[in-house]
Every structure is written in C-alpha cells, then in structure tokens.
C-alpha cells in the first residue's frame, strides 16, 4: 500500500495520556492531567467523529499508545474496518518488538511515525529522559520495517541538536535505508518546554543546518518535510515550499481556511514578515519564539515589491497580473495559472462580482491604481473593494487578500483629497496606501502626520516607475 501523504494535516486520536518516557519538551505532559486513562467510550466517539470528516489518515497518538496493547490493536482494526485507508501510529517505539510489530501489521497499521530524536544516543536519551532509549527505539523501528510497516521518522530538533540536521540525514541513509520520509520537527515553547527557553533552537543556527540537511536528504533520496510543528519556511525551507505543510495547505488560495495557515492562534508574524513574499504560505512562528529569541533567524528571502515599481515582475516569489480597464477572461486565466506565493492583481477598476472572483482566486494582493481626481467617481470599484474586505474579514491570518491603493496625484493642492483617501483606505481595511507623485518630497510632511493618525496602514510616497498597462 502507498504511504500516507506526509504533507496533509492528520486527524489525531489520543488513545491514552500515559507515557513510559519523560521527554523534556513534551507538549502533552502527563502531569497536566488528573487522569491519564482515556475511556473506551471516548475512543469510540473520537473514531466516529473522525470517520465523519472523511479524511484519509488517522494518527493514533498519546501519551504513548503502545502501552495499551489490546486497545491499540482493536482500534487499528476498527479504523480499517471503517474504510480509513491510512492508520498511523505515533510512538517512541521502545516497546515494539518483532511480535508486537507483526500484530500491528496484521491489525492493519500502515505507518509508524517514530520519534528518533537524534542519531546520537547520548542526545536522544537526554531529550527522551530515559537512558537506553536510543537502542530500544532503533530496535522498534527495525521490527516495524521487518513487519512491512512503513516508517516516517520524527526528529524534534532542540538547541542541543540544532546543528546536527545534516548528520542525522546521513545516519538515516546508512542505518535505516528502508526509511524514505523524515518529518523535521522542532521543540515548541509549550508543555514542559514552556519554561525552559534553553531547549528552543535558535533559528539563525537551525536555518543553515536545515539547508545543508535538505541537500544531504536529496542526495540520499530521502524526503524531508516541514510539518506544522516545524519552522517558518524562511528558516531553511524557502526553496522547498512543496515540502512545507503550511504552504501546501494554502495552495488552494482564496478565502478558505487551511488549518496550518490559520494555526489556531498559536503562531504570529513579526516585523521581518511584513513584506515577505512567502507570507501568504506561512503561518508564522510560535508567539514565544518572538518573545524569547526576538525572532532571530527569521528573515524574508525576498521582499514584496509593488507592481508600479521597476523589477516587480522579476521579484522572486511573486507574480504580477496587470489588468488595465479591469479584469477580463484572460486576467482570470492568468490568475488561476499563477504559482508564486505572492500574486498581485494590478487594475484600475472592478465591476460587480469581481470581489467574489478575486476572493476565490490565488490573488494575495489587490492593487487598485486610481488617479486622485477620479477617486470619488470610482464608486463601483470601491464598492467591490469594500465587498472583498468583508469577505476577507471572515478569513484568518495570511489567507486574507490584502488591498493596496495606489493614488496618482497630478497637481498641487490635492492635500485634502489625499487626507480623505487615506481615511477611506482605512475604512476599507487596506494594507497600504501609496501616493505616486513627482516630486515625492511635496507630501513627505503630510504623510508623516497621516502615518501617526493611521498606524495600521503602510503609507508611502514615491515617484511612479511603471504605469498600468505600460
């Protein structure tokens, strides 16, 4: 049977909250719960709820689910009888011997997701909180492979292991040649790690190690992926968005709600992310990483460049679709074909229905290019912009379509129009307003005043470099 798609968000069913190890970074520590047992009724209800979601991969987790041997085997059989094609066991594997592995395979287990935290026994055992765990984990992996169960490894890189990613890939290729997939997780600032800042890796050191590790993985034919519990794509994954769970879940574009990008409020973006071309495919970094590490190692690989700026069409990570006189059939076709993380639609007008079409498209940034004198006459365009803002308000985080106003001033004495235009942009929920005028110094003082009045808007004054359609 083909393995499950490792880039898909998987439903998790916790069979037990008890564990036979004491990982120093555990997100679900046993001390958090009054009772570590999960009733059979609760397990049955969780399975029924999962079946109704029609997802194809169920992950059985814990605690450590192999502690409940008979219940685990029964759950796997029940899941497969419910026509769930992929059942994954998330485990430390230390209890799995040859007999147990055959029982798991016979029950219908399709994959083991095993926490081999480090290729070095000393580091693995220290992170697991159990001497001898490394050897037992490798024995469990061997047993699963010999029973015909696919294995994906789940190293959780910490500060103590953050530079060892390339060596880990070499070790897997040499010691475990049957393993083809590695989920590159990192310590999260939750659970036991919440108050142990020294466990968190520094992304400025982890990023280069990931880049080197990915090169080693490619050399060995290993598929390394960046899961939800990994890192922002700028930390070593910028050239491999096809292996980032957040990025893949955002590929549908539009105003849906991909779970990785929405991220349940656990992550956020910081100042380096504001104009990053990868932001529409990125859920951000853990809140605590910004606080404890000040965002070190998070840096935009390329900066979003507005379409009226020279070289915007050659900027890595973004596509610019121009639509003078409004979007037409060719515009929508070009938008649907766009593949960059940031996709600009640059136009001077919208008609009824365009807001919905923009919202359903991969467009991440709508740039309305309007002469200052025509602003009051652009009622239909502004109505559609307001409708798009309402639609985007139901979306979350990076999946919103950002609105930008480019206002071309052609004569002196338009300061009053500029003030009202910025106020209008604020009511529309615009991300930025650009005054395109020559010379730009004319409005510098006014922009400074307006910037103080509208701190949520990016205000910029600059000479126009490119014209829509020109």
pLDDT tens by residue, 260-313: 455 557 888 999 998 899 998 888 999 989 999 999 999 999 999 999 998 999
Question: Domains of the chain: which residue ranges?
Answer: 11-253, 312-462
Is the overall model pTM greater than 0.85, yes or no?
yes
Is the Cβ–Cβ distance between 3 and 223 less than 8 Å?
A: no
d(CA 248, CA 125): 33
Strand pairing report for 86-91 and 57-61: parallel
Instruction: Give the bridge partners for 113, in sequence order.
Output: 90, 152
Statement: 11-253 belongs to CATH 1.10.3720.10:
no
Contact 205, 211 (CB under 8 A): no
Beta-carbon contacts of 51 under 8 Å, excluding residues fewer than 6 positions away, are 82, 84
| Residue 398 vs residue 320, higher pLDDT | 320
Is there a contact between 267 and 304 (Cβ–Cβ < 8 Å)? no
349-370: b (≥16 Cβ within 10 Å) or e: bbeeebbebbbbbbbbbbbbbb
- Output the CA angle 281-284-289, nearest 5 degrees: 160
pLDDT at 396 exceeding the cut of 70:
no
SS3 sequence, 375-434? HHHCHHHHHHHHHHHHHHHCCCHHHCCEEEEEEECCCCCCHHHHHHHHHHHHHCCCCEEE
Cβ atoms < 10 Å from Cβ of 265: 9
110-114, 135-139, 380-384: which has the minimum mean pLDDT? 380-384
3-state helix vs strand vs coil in the chain, percent to 5? 40, 15, 40
Confidence band for 410, pLDDT divided at 50, 70 and 90? low
Q: What percent of the chain has pLDDT over 90?
A: 59
Please count the other Cβ atoms lying within 10 Å of the Cβ belonging to residue 291: 11
What confidence score (pLDDT) does residue 10 get? 54
């Amino acid at each position: 049977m083909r393995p499950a798609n490792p880039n898909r968000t998987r439903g998790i069913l916790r069979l037990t909250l008890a564990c036979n190890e004491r990982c120093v970074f555990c997100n679900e520590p046993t001390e958090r719960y009054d009772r570590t047992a999960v009733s059979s009724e609760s397990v049955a209800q969780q399975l029924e709820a999962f079946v109704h979601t029609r997802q194809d991969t169920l992950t059985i987790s814990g605690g450590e689910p192999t502690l409940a041997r008979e219940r685990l085997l029964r759950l796997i059989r029940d899941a497969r009888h419910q026509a769930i094609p992929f059942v994954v066991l998330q485990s430390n594997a230390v209890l799995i011997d040859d007999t147990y592995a055959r029982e798991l395979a016979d029950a219908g287990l399709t994959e083991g997701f095993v926490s081999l935290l480090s290729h070095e026994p000393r580091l693995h055992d220290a992170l697991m909180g159990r001497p001898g765990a490394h050897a037992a984990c490798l024995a469990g992996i061997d047993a699963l492979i010999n029973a015909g169960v696919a294995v994906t490894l789940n190293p959780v890189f910490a500060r103590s292991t953050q530079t060892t990613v390339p060596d880990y890939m070499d070790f897997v290729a040499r010691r475990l040649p049957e393993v083809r997939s590695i989920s590159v997780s990192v310590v999260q600032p939750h659970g036991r790690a919440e108050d142990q800042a020294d466990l968190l890796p520094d992304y400025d050191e982890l990023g280069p190690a990931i880049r080197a590790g990915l090169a080693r993985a490619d050399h060995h034919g290993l598929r390394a992926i960046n899961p939800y519990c990994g890192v922002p794509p700028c930390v070593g994954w910028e050239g491999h968005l096809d292996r980032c769970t957040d990025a893949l879940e955002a590929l549908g574009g539009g105003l849906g709600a991909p779970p990785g990008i929405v991220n349940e409020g656990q992550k956020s973006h910081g100042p380096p992310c504001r104009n990053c071309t990868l932001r529409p495919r990125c859920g951000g970094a853990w809140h605590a990483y910004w606080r404890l590490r000040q965002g070190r190692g998070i840096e935009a690989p390329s900066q979003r460049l507005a379409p009226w700026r020279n070289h915007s069409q050659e900027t890595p990570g973004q596509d610019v679709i121009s639509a003078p006189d409004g979007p037409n059939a060719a515009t929508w076709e070009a938008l649907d074909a766009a593949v960059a993380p940031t996709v600009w639609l640059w136009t001077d007008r919208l008609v009824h229905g365009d807001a919905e079409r923009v919202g359903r498209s991969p467009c991440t940034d709508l740039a309305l290019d309007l002469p200052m004198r025509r602003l009051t006459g652009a009622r239909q365009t502004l109505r559609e912009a307001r409708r798009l803002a309402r639609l985007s308000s139901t979306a979350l985080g990076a999946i919103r379509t950002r609105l930008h106003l480019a206002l071309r001033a052609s004569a002196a004495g338009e300061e009053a129009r500029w003030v009202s235009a910025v106020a209008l942009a604020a009511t529309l929920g615009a991300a930025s307003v650009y005054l395109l005028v020559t010379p730009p110094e004319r409005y510098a003082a006014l922009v400074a005043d307006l910037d103080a009045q509208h701190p949520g808007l990016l205000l910029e004054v600059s000479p126009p470099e490119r014209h829509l359609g020109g």
